[in-house]
Amino acid sequence: MAESDVPRPVVHWEIAGVDAEALREFYRGLFHWEIGDGPIMAINPAEGGPLPGPGGHLRPARGPRVTLYVQVRDLAESLDRAVDLGGSVAMEITRIPDQPTLAGIRDPEGTVVMLVQQ
């Protein structure tokens, strides 16, 4: 790691599953999260710890999964590095209007991690 670089933070996360409404009720009840309505159910950062954590969302999907969104300085470089380390590209660099630019990788076990352009 370059001396000028620091460990990269998780900046967002997602929980997805077949029955998103049931998941919303589960996480509301378990963690007392305030979870919004709609197809992308926003979850605000928690308070009460040393610092608020990153916000997230909950949404419908074909099956259960948790996705981390990790901020990086350079998406192309990070995709190349993931492949060099034995991973693969899950989603090419994608620019979404009025949203962060994203890309996705699969780790060597197949877990998808989303990358967010700093």
Q: What is the pLDDT of residue 51?
A: 67
Task: Please give the average per-residue pLDDT across 47-60, as a whole number.
Answer: 76
DSSP-derived letter for residue 45 is P
pLDDT, averaged across the chain = 88
Rounded-to-integer distance, Cα 34 and Cα 45, Å: 9
> What average pLDDT does this structure show over 6-30?
89
Domain spanning 1-65: CATH superfamily = 2,3-Dihydroxybiphenyl 1,2-Dioxygenase, domain 1 (3.10.180.10)
The fold of 73-118 is: 2,3-Dihydroxybiphenyl 1,2-Dioxygenase; domain 1 (3.10.180)
How does residue 67 score in pLDDT terms, banded at 50, 70 and 90? very high
Type of residue found at 15:
I
Does this chain's domain 1-65 share its CATH topology with 73-118? yes
Whether residue 93 contacts residue 51, with contact meaning beta carbons closer than 8 Å, is answered with no
pTM: 0.75
Domain ranges of the chain: 1-65, 73-118
* pLDDT score for 59: 93
Q: Rounded distance, CA 24 to CA 105, Å?
A: 26
Cβ contacts of 61 within 8 Å, gap of 6 or more: 16, 17, 18, 20
